[in-house]
C-alpha cells in the first residue's frame, strides 16, 4: 500500500481544471487541446486569463498562484492538468495556500518538466500521489500521438489497478541489479535545483528514482548527477530509471551518454536502467509518483506495483 494519499479515479463527465503555473504557450495549441479533451467526455474549466503573457510566463506570479490555489482546493475539480512546462513554477511556491491545499482531498495532478516542482511540493507537504505525464499543449489536440498519450494517461488515472510492467524494447541496462521502492523524481534539472528546498522530492530509504531531461549536454548531466551524489541524495535510492534524455543538438559526443551514466553512477549500489519512454518524448508514459515500483535487470523489467488512484 502506498504511503501517499491517492486521489479518486477520473470518470467520464468529471471536471478537469487546467492550470498554467509556468511558461506561456501558443493559444491555438491550447484551444485545440481543450476541445480535444472535452471530446473525450470531460468538462474542462480554466480561467479566462490563462493565456496572459508576462515575459516568458503565463501571466505574473500572482495570477498563476491564484489559479492553482483555486483549482487544488475546489472540490468540484477532479483533476488538474497543466498547459505546459517551461519555467516559472518555483516562483509561485511561496504564494500557494499550503494549509488549505494540504487539508483538501487529494486530486489527480498531472504534468512534467517544470511541474516537477509541484510534484515534489504536493508529495512533501500534502502527501499526495501525483502523475508525471503529459502537458496538454504538447501532447493533446492536433498532436498526432494524442490518442496514445491519452491511453497511457487513462491507464494511470482512470483505472484503479496497478500499471504493472511498462514494456519497452528501448530499455538499456547501465548497471545490473534488482530494487523495489517508492517512485519519486522527475526532470533532472528541476530535481537538482530543488535540493534543500521546500519542494524537493521526498527521498526515503526505499526510493526508485526516475529522472529525465532534454536539451542538455553530457557535461551538464554529469554535473547534476554528481551533485545529487555529493548532496547525499542517492544514499536513499535503491534503483534509478532514466526516461527520455534527448541531448542538446550541439552535443559533440551523443554516443557517450550511457558511458557517462555508468561513470557518474559507478559507486551507486543498485540497478540503473535507461530508455523508458517517459518525460520529454512523444508519445509518453504517465508515471504515478508515490506508487511502489520494481526495477530489475534479469530479466529486464520495470513495473508499477500499486495503483495511483482509488476506485
Contact (Cβ atoms closer than 8 angstroms) between residue 22 and residue 84: yes
**And the C-alpha cell for 309?**
488512484
Q: Is 303 a catalytic residue?
A: no
Is 28 in contact with 152 (CB distance < 8 Å)? no
67 an active-site residue? no
Residue 179 · residue 270 · CB < 8 Å: yes
DSSP class of residue 164 equals E
How far apart are the C-alpha atoms of 145 and 87, rounded to whole Å? 24
The Cα–Cα gap between 295 and 31 comes to: 39
The answer to whether 55 touches 23, Cβ cutoff 8 Å, is: no
Catalytic residue among 23, 113, 189, 194: 113
Cβ–Cβ under 8 Å, residues 30 and 36: no
| Contact (CB, 8 A) for 243 and 211 | yes
Helix (H) or strand (E) holding 102: helix 98-103
Query: Would you say how long the chain is, in residues?
Result: 311
Closest among 306, 229, 233 to 261, alpha carbons compared: 229
The H or E element spanning position 267 is none
Catalytic residue among 119, 139, 192, 280: 280
In the set 212, 216, 244, 251, the catalytic residue is 212
Catalytic residue at 280? yes
Residue numbers annotated as active site: 113, 212, 280
Amino acid at each position: 500500500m502506498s504511503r501517499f494519499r491517492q486521489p479518486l479515479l477520473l470518470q467520464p463527465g468529471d471536471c478537469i481544471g487546467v492550470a498554467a503555473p509556468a511558461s506561456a504557450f501558443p493559444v491555438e495549441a491550447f484551444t485545440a487541446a481543450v476541445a480535444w479533451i472535452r471530446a473525450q467526455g470531460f468538462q474542462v474549466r480554466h480561467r479566462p486569463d490563462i493565456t496572459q503573457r508576462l515575459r516568458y510566463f503565463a501571466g505574473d506570479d500572482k495570477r498563476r498562484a491564484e489559479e492553482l490555489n483555486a483549482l487544488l482546493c475546489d472540490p468540484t475539480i477532479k483533476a488538474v492538468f497543466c498547459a505546459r512546462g517551461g519555467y516559472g513554477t518555483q516562483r509561485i511556491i511561496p504564494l500557494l495556500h499550503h494549509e488549505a491545499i494540504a487539508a483538501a482531498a487529494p486530486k489527480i495532478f498531472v504534468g512534467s518538466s517544470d511541474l516537477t516542482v509541484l510534484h515534489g511540493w504536493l508529495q512533501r507537504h500534502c502527501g499526495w500521489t501525483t502523475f508525471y505525464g503529459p502537458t496538454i499543449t504538447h501532447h493533446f489536440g492536433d498532436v498526432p500521438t494524442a490518442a496514445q498519450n491519452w491511453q497511457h494517461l487513462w491507464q494511470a488515472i482512470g483505472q484503479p489497478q496497478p500499471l504493472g510492467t511498462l514494456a519497452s524494447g528501448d530499455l538499456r541496462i547501465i548497471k545490473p541489479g534488482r530494487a523495489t521502492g517508492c517512485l519519486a523524481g522527475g526532470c533532472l534539472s528541476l530535481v537538482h535545483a530543488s535540493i534543500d528546498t521546500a519542494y524537493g522530492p521526498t527521498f526515503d530509504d526505499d526510493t526508485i528514482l526516475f529522472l529525465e531531461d532534454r536539451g542538455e549536454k553530457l557535461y551538464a548531466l554529469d554535473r547534476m548527477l554528481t551533485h545529487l551524489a555529493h548532496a547525499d541524495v542517492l544514499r536513499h535510492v535503491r534503483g534509478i530509471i532514466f526516461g527520455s534524455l534527448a541531448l542538446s543538438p550541439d552535443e559533440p559526443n551523443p554516443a557517450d551518454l550511457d558511458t557517462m551514466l555508468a561513470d557518474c553512477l559507478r559507486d551507486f549500489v543498485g540497478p540503473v536502467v535507461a530508455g523508458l519512454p517517459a518525460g520529454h518524448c512523444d508519445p509518453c508514459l504517465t508515471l504515478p509518483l508515490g506508487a511502489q515500483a520494481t526495477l530489475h535487470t534479469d530479466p529486464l523489467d520495470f513495473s508499477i506495483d500499486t495503483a495511483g488512484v482509488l476506485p
